[in-house]
Amino acid sequence: MEPAAPATALGALISGRYRLGPRIGAGGHGAVFAATHIWTGRPVAVKLLLPTAAASPIALERFLREARVTGELRHPNVVDVLDMGMDGDRAFLVLELLRGETLADRLARGPLAPAEVFAVMAPILRALAALHAIDVVHRDVKPDNVFLSVDTDGSVVPKLLDFGISKRLDGASDRVTQTGGLVGTPDYMSPEQVEGERVGPASDQWSVGVVMFEALAGRRPYPEGALAKVLAAIATKPPARLADLEGEVPDDLARLVDRTLSRDPAARFESVGALLAALEAVADAHGWTERDVPAVEARAVPEAPASRAVDAHAETASIEAASTEAASIEAAQLEPTPAERPTRRRPSPLAWAVGAIVGGLIVVGAWLATQPDAPPPTTLEPPPLASVPPPAEPDATEEAPRLNEATPAPLPAAEAPTPASPTEPAATRRARRAPSRATAPAREATAPEDPAPDEPPTAQAADEAAPAATGANGAPIIVD
């Protein structure tokens, strides 16, 4: 059985039915992957809570809040959440897979025309009005959370994303967004949000004003800089006025945007619905329609990890205790696909083993070549059998001869050797003598078994006498 793939690996199976594809976005608490429902074949986006955030109850609550809020909304201009659950110890959300780009990506190529700003922001204001109707504020409206989705018929549908740090206004206990906590994206925070006060729908209206200002002017109402300077400027200084900037922004649209950026929440529009009605009145006066959407680069889902250009569901990087916005990506990145990975042949384990054995034999052979040749064992030539006198019968009263006395045993009459020729080779004489030794009767050992001085040393004695093979450091060399 093959081991299970890591939860973020390409091809991993989530909850037994969602097959992960490439990663298409990531943020402070989650990473988003293109995926496919294995039963229906429907393309979806799966957002997984990062392991670094999974241990935090607050991060888990924020992660799951998006599913609950969007499930309650069911709005055409809000990204749809299709499923949610736990895969082992990790939470996941299943969202509709969008094609297109974020408003932030579009603004990176330049500001929008006033008619395009109307076509993008009118649907977003409707989504916010529906959100406020269920007593929830978004608290993180920004270009990264506005997605320009390209539908199957080619039409562009703006959608509001990421409800992870939204807040309910019904008085229910909210342990993850208590009053006094600094939560949101600093450049788009309202003054009351920066000061840690209780926020309401008027705070979302301020954020919409910052987005519209940036889309029309190409910059934000407060100068960009260090986090502390941005927060201090929002808390203490008035923003730049769009009406004071040179450009082709109509005066009535500029006044509308400047009103949404009033430092006093009460000086803004009564509601997001009232702001939408005022924006539609300006559009009617200039002949703008919601079909005047900007051109969108409808990118398909990439085959490999891509940049934020297709990050349709990027997780909000919440600002806690005046910390900077961070996109903390888990260490485990996607592995490149086999087509991208350079192929390289690796030696097999058998080749490693053969190489090691050959190398060892070479080393041992080199060492043996440096050792002096051992002298060959001395072979004592036995006397001719004809010159050996016949043995005398031992006397019972005499002491048995010692084993180190080379007294030949009597030969049976049937096997009596014939006299050897003076020219008979020594090897023939040894062969003729071998049967006599095999049939000699055993003698009782009455003394230490010292080898006879005239007999050749045995193999065991030669081994004991030979020096042990040692390496350069004195360690014995063992060859299997």
Q: Is 395 a catalytic residue?
A: no
**CA-to-CA distance for 139 and 318, rounded, in angstroms?**
10
The Cα–Cα gap between 240 and 189 comes to: 15
C-alpha distances (whole Å) from 17 to each of 36, 85, 226, 312 are 8, 12, 45, 22
CA distance 365 to 304: 54
Rounded distance, CA 315 to CA 299, Å? 20
Per-residue tokens: 198: 């209780």
Q: In whole angstroms, what is the distance from residue 434 CA to residue 437 CA?
A: 5
Q: Is residue 416 exposed (0-12), middle (13-18) or buried (19+ Cβ within 10 Å)? A: exposed
| Cα–Cα distance measured from residue 220 to residue 173, given in angstroms and rounded to the nearest whole number | 34
List, edge to edge, every strand of the sheet that includes 100-102: 100-102, 146-150, 156-160
Measure the CA–CA gap between 69 and 238, rounded to whole angstroms: 33
The owner of tokens 């300006």 is: 282
Q: Does residue 227 contact residue 326 with C-beta atoms inside 8 Å?
A: no
DSSP 452: P
| Gap between the Cα atoms of 120 and 299, Å rounded | 19
Alpha-carbon distance of 274 to 253, in angstroms, equals 14
Per the CB < 8 A criterion, the answer to whether 433 and 417 are in contact is yes
Of 140, 162, 204, 311, the active-site residue reads 140
Helix axes 57-73, 114-133, angle to 10 degrees: 100
Residues marked active site are found at: 140
